[in-house]
Amino acid sequence: MFERIEGLVCWKCGASLAALSLPLRRQDECKACGADLHVCRLCEFYDTAVAKSCREPVAEEVKDKTRANFCDYFRPRPDAFHAESGEADRAKSDLEALFGGPSGDAAGQDAGDDARGRLEELFGGKAKP
């Protein structure tokens, strides 16, 4: 009756869930990060390419795909965790370098002043604030 899925990991942090027995209960949480586990993001039917992000045609829609739910069609899948590729982090750091980060820190102010100076050079005159 109780089984284990080889390689089952948390959808959010990638920690092993080997200690848990299946079926997962609605209240089960990841011991490493505290994320709910009976969630759409850990289900084999979860697919953002289809309507309502679920390939199960008769399942009721679940709005929050990262919170515990009561779906009877839930089946955990071992490949639910996807580490960030680094592209988003790289893009964010590029934007922060260009615009000075989220808080407008001093380095960002210097970058903004430098950009304004280049703009003035380009258009020959004072740029309006």
Task: Verify that 51 and 96 share a domain, yes or no.
Answer: no
Q: How confident is the model over 11-61, as pLDDT tens digits? A: 999 999 988 888 899 999 999 999 999 999 999 999 999 989 999 999 999
Residue 53, in any domain of the structure:
yes
Task: Verify that 107 and 77 share a domain, yes or no.
Answer: no
pLDDT recorded at residue 32: 92
Task: Verify that 58 and 106 share a domain, yes or no.
Answer: no
User: What are residue 87's phi and psi, to 5 degrees?
Assistant: -65, -40
Q: Which domain holds residue 117?
A: 87-123
Task: Verify that 31 and 54 share a domain, yes or no.
Answer: yes
Task: Verify that 113 and 64 share a domain, yes or no.
Answer: no
Task: Verify that 26 and 68 share a domain, yes or no.
Answer: yes
**Confidence category of residue 107, pLDDT binned at 50, 70, 90:** low
pLDDT recorded at residue 1: 42
* Mean pLDDT lowest among 32-36, 64-68, 105-109, 112-116: 105-109
Task: Verify that 109 and 61 share a domain, yes or no.
Answer: no
User: What are residue 16's phi and psi, to 5 degrees?
Assistant: -65, 140
* Mean pLDDT lowest among 36-40, 74-78, 82-86, 115-119: 82-86
Residue 128, in any domain of the structure:
no
Q: Is the peptide bond before 23 cis (omega within 30 degrees of 0)?
A: yes
Task: Verify that 18 and 52 share a domain, yes or no.
Answer: yes
Of 4 and 47, more confident: 47
Number of structural domains found in the chain: 2
Burial string for 71-92 (b: 16+ CB within 10 Å, else e) reads beebebbeebbeeeeeeeeeee
